[in-house]
C-alpha cells in the first residue's frame, strides 16, 4: 500500500491506499501502451485451452437399491467412459469401443 509520508501509520486515509484492482488496471494499461512488443513475445504468451468436457451425472444410473459390488462395477464403468471422453471420443464411438 502507498502511504502518505506526512501522516502517521494510525492516520492513513483510505484514498491513499492502492488496491489490488488498481494495481491490476495499471499493469494492463502499461501492457496496452507498450508498443515495443514482438511477434515472438505474443506467440509465447498464447495460451492453449483444453476442449470442453461433457458432464453426465452419476446419480441417475446409481439410483435405487444396489449391492456394493454392483455399485463398484458401475463406478468403474463410469471411470472408463469418462477417460474415453477425455481422449476425445464421442458417445457413439464409446459405445462401439465397449
Is there a domain that residue 70 lies in? yes
pLDDT tens-digit series, residues 16-64: 677 888 999 999 998 888 888 788 877 777 776 666 666 667 677 777 7
Is there a domain that residue 15 lies in? no
Query: What is the number of structural domains in the chain?
Result: 1
pLDDT above 60 (res 8): no
pLDDT above 80 (res 92): yes
CB 30 within 8 A of CB 23: no
According to the model, what pLDDT value does residue 50 have? 62
Is there a domain that residue 3 lies in? no
Q: Which domain holds residue 27?
A: 20-97
Is there a domain that residue 36 lies in? yes
Is there a domain that residue 27 lies in? yes
- DSSP letters, 67-79, are -HHHHHHHHHHHH
pLDDT above 60 (res 79): yes
Sign of CA dihedral 28, 33, 37, 39: positive
Question: pTM of this prediction?
Answer: 0.38
Is there a domain that residue 4 lies in? no
Separation of CA 34 from chain center? 28
Mean of all residue pLDDT scores within the chain: 77
Amino acid at each position: 500500500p502507498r502511504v502518505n509520508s506526512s501522516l502517521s501509520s494510525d492516520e492513513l486515509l483510505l484514498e491513499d491506499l492502492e488496491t489490488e484492482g488498481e494495481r491490476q488496471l495499471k499493469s494492463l494499461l502499461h501492457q496496452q501502451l507498450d508498443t515495443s512488443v514482438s511477434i515472438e513475445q505474443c506467440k509465447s504468451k498464447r495460451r492453449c485451452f483444453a476442449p470442453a468436457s461433457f458432464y453426465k451425472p452419476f446419480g441417475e444410473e446409481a439410483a435405487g437399491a444396489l449391492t456394493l459390488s454392483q455399485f463398484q462395477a458401475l463406478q468403474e464403468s463410469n471411470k472408463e467412459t469418462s477417460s474415453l471422453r477425455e481422449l476425445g471420443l464421442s458417445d457413439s464411438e464409446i459405445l462401439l469401443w465397449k
